[in-house]
């Protein structure tokens, strides 16, 4: 089993549920954006209530990546606020954790997060990213694929994928007024999963206009695009489970800023695909 194709849903449409699957944090609320029911890896929003704390040392059986959307989270004396990022490998010890004002964190687990019995603080050093305040990073505007130069993409790499030797988790930004030349270009396909959460602005493609809170999980080998944006877009993206190679389609596909919302969703989520989210609250 792998995660189903979700492209795309609005996180705002999903209800908060009590606790977190796996049972490691029964005192938070969570929204599952996508999950592999058999392997246990997932992408979730976690809401920590104001005053939340974990006074005892704790390690998880899963790797936990997190990007703060709102509020504060203090772990091992380091305070993470909006736009801060960390990645703790399985086995990494949290000696203490708390949130003063509450927190919403976009969180990724590489397997079901359970409390570990092993408190020896043994973990894969190369996968540890203790703390990044992404506001302090400079955008990388170099062109990875000349065929995508028209998008003017910029990125901030947060985590390197050592298995596939490529950027694994990164922030992505595109200026306003981006569309393919002559309003058409071929689709792209990769032999890896591509996942994205829109943080601000919008990105528009054949499934509609993705605005703040829009989320997709696109499995390997799914042709996609063209994409563009009238307003400019800012997203967190991950490449997973394969090499990120651009394979271009062989014919031009027309592009429009006006593609209607027409998502690809698994049956369990189809109720969330009737209409885009039109409110203003993310949490
Ligand atoms: Fe892609």
Distance from the CA of 194 to the center of ligand 1, in angstroms? 6
Distance from the CA of 190 to the center of ligand 1, in angstroms? 7
The series of mean pLDDT values per 10 residues for the chain, 283 residues long, is 94 95 94 96 98 94 98 98 98 97 98 95 97 97 85 95 96 97 96 97 97 97 97 97 95 97 95 86 77
Distance from the CA of 117 to the center of ligand 1, in angstroms? 39
* Judgement on whether residues 124 and 150 belong to the same structural domain of the protein: no
* Judgement on whether residues 114 and 167 belong to the same structural domain of the protein: no
Distance from the CA of 17 to the center of ligand 1, in angstroms? 31
Other beta carbons within 10 angstroms of residue 169's beta carbon come to: 22
**Whole-prediction pTM value?**
0.96
Distance from the CA of 146 to the center of ligand 1, in angstroms? 14
Distance from the CA of 242 to the center of ligand 1, in angstroms? 13
Distances (CA, A) of 214 to 69, 170, 263: 14, 16, 11
Q: What is the pLDDT of residue 275?
A: 84
| Residue where a domain terminates, one of 75, 105, 136 | 136
In a domain, 279, yes or no: no
Distance from the CA of 96 to the center of ligand 1, in angstroms? 38
Strands 154-161 vs 42-48: parallel, antiparallel or unpaired:
unpaired
Distance from the CA of 151 to the center of ligand 1, in angstroms? 12
In a domain, 241, yes or no: yes
Distance from the CA of 134 to the center of ligand 1, in angstroms? 22
Distance from the CA of 142 to the center of ligand 1, in angstroms? 17
DSSP code for 12: G
Q: Give the contacts of 182 (CB within 8 A, at least 6 positions apart).
A: none
Over the chain, what is the mean pLDDT? Answer: 95
Q: What is the pLDDT of residue 13?
A: 93
Domain housing 184? 146-272
Q: Give the contacts of 114 (CB within 8 A, at least 6 positions apart).
A: 22, 23, 24, 60, 61, 62
Distance from the CA of 224 to the center of ligand 1, in angstroms? 7
Q: Structural domain tally of the chain? A: 2
Distance from the CA of 220 to the center of ligand 1, in angstroms? 10
Distance from the CA of 55 to the center of ligand 1, in angstroms? 42
Q: Express each pLDDT in 17-42 by its tens digit.
A: 999 999 899 999 999 999 999 999 99
* Judgement on whether residues 70 and 165 belong to the same structural domain of the protein: no
CATH number where 156 lies: 2.60.120.10
Q: What is the pLDDT of residue 55?
A: 87
Q: Look at the block and give the residue holding tokens 């509609």.
A: 208
Torsional sign, CA 21, 27, 31, 34:
negative
Per-position DSSP letters for 80-102, written without gaps between them: EETTEEEEE-TT-EES-EE-SS-
Q: What is the pLDDT of residue 34?
A: 97
In a domain, 3, yes or no: no
Q: How far apart are CA 247 and CA 256, in angstroms?
A: 22
* Judgement on whether residues 172 and 215 belong to the same structural domain of the protein: yes
Return the percent helix, strand and coil in the chain, to nearest 5: 10, 45, 45
Distance from the CA of 116 to the center of ligand 1, in angstroms? 35
Distance from the CA of 189 to the center of ligand 1, in angstroms? 6
């Amino acid at each position: 089993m792998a995660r189903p194709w979700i492209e795309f849903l609005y996180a705002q449409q999903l209800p908060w549920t009590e606790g977190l699957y796996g049972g490691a944090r029964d005192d938070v609320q969570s929204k599952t954006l996508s999950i592999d029911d058999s392997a246990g890896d997932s992408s979730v929003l976690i809401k920590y209530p104001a005053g939340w704390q974990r006074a005892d040392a704790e390690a998880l059986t899963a790797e936990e990546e997190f990007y703060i959307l709102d509020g504060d989270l203090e772990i091992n004396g380091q305070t993470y606020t909006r736009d801060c990022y960390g990645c703790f490998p399985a086995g990494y010890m949290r000696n203490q954790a708390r949130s003063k004002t509450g927190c919403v964190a976009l969180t990724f687990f590489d397997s079901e997060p359970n409390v570990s019995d092993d408190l020896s603080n043994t973990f894969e050093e190369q996968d540890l990213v203790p703390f990044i305040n992404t506001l302090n990073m400079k955008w990388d505007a170099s062109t990875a694929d000349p065929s995508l130069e028209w998008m003017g993409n910029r990125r901030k790499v947060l985590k390197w994928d050592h298995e596939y030797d490529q950027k694994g988790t990164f922030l992505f930004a595109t200026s306003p007024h981006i569309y393919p030349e002559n309003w058409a270009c071929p689709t792209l396909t990769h032999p890896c999963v591509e996942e994205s959460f829109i943080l601000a602005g919008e990105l528009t493609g054949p499934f509609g206009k993705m605005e703040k809170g829009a989320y997709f999980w696109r499995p390997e080998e799914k042709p996609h695009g063209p994409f563009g944006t009238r307003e400019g877009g800012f997203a967190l993206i991950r490449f997973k489970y394969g090499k990120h190679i651009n394979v271009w389609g062989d014919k031009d596909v027309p592009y429009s800023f006006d593609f209607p919302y027409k998502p690809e969703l698994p049956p369990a989520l189809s109720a969330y695909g009737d209409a885009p989210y039109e409110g203003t609250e993310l949490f």
